[in-house]
């Protein structure tokens, strides 16, 4: 599994806002984590490239606890293999997350991986929402797919950075829409 450096934002928290663990500070992830911090969410970030975390810290945060301990974790990684390494396995993200927590996944594209992640989350009583993104960082559309109660929890958080948040019918179906859009 990739090593991650962890940071937490110091922005003024929203009174009832859950702590957000955010994995992946590429161009899109950096912007999304920043919007969450600006919206008042306490945010812990992680990325295998220390310079990304340090840059984010200079703008938003300080060193903090492991993001997997957050009430909600968001994955916005470059590829599915990085997500698989992060989430699955005896020392993976799901093993560290407590029951009742939520994973919002902006990474997975393969229906097989989405199904595997959803099953692994369910086995640990962790919520899973597949949330493919479309558009540009300034005008994002998110399609949330998962159990109704998990989608409802994710909607409030994703609305902090997506201009439009749609609900789908089941985890994995948004993968096909994302794949189709990328082929255009």
117: domain CATH number? 3.40.50.720
Number of domains in the chain: 1
Q: Tell me how far CA of residue 52 lies from CA of 66, 82, 121, 140, 146, in angstroms.
A: 16, 16, 28, 22, 30
Q: Which domain holds residue 156?
A: 5-183
The predicted pLDDT at position 22 comes to 94
Q: Tell me how far CA of residue 37 lies from CA of 7, 73, 162, 179, in angstroms.
A: 12, 14, 14, 29
With CA atoms as reference, report the closest residue to 45 among 71, 73, 6: 6
Bridge partners (DSSP) listed for residue 74: 22, 104
The predicted pLDDT at position 3 comes to 43
Bridge partners (DSSP) listed for residue 104: 74, 129
Q: List average pLDDT for each run of 10 residues in the chain, which is 184 residues long.
A: 46 62 94 93 90 91 70 94 89 92 93 94 96 91 95 96 87 46 44
The predicted pLDDT at position 138 comes to 86
Size of the chain, expressed as the number of residues it contains: 184
With CA atoms as reference, report the closest residue to 83 among 173, 153, 175, 10: 175
């Amino acid at each position: 599994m990739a090593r991650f450096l962890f940071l937490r934002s110091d922005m003024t928290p929203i009174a009832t806002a859950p702590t957000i663990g955010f994995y992946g500070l590429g161009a899109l992830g950096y912007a999304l984590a920043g919007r969450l911090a600006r919206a008042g969410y306490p945010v812990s970030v992680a990325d295998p490239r220390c310079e990304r975390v340090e840059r984010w810290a200079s703008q938003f945060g300080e060193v903090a606890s492991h993001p997997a301990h957050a009430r909600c974790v968001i994955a916005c990684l470059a590829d599915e293999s990085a997500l698989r390494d992060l989430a699955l396995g005896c020392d993976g993200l799901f093993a560290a997350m407590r029951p009742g927590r939520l994973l919002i996944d902006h990474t997975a594209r393969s229906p097989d991986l989405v199904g595997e992640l959803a099953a692994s989350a369910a086995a640990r009583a962790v919520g899973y929402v597949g949330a493919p993104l479309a558009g540009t960082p300034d005008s994002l559309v998110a399609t949330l797919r998962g159990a109704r109660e998990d989608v409802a929890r994710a909607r409030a958080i994703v609305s902090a950075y997506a201009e439009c948040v749609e609900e789908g019918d089941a985890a994995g179906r948004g993968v096909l829409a994302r794949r189709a859009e990328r082929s255009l």
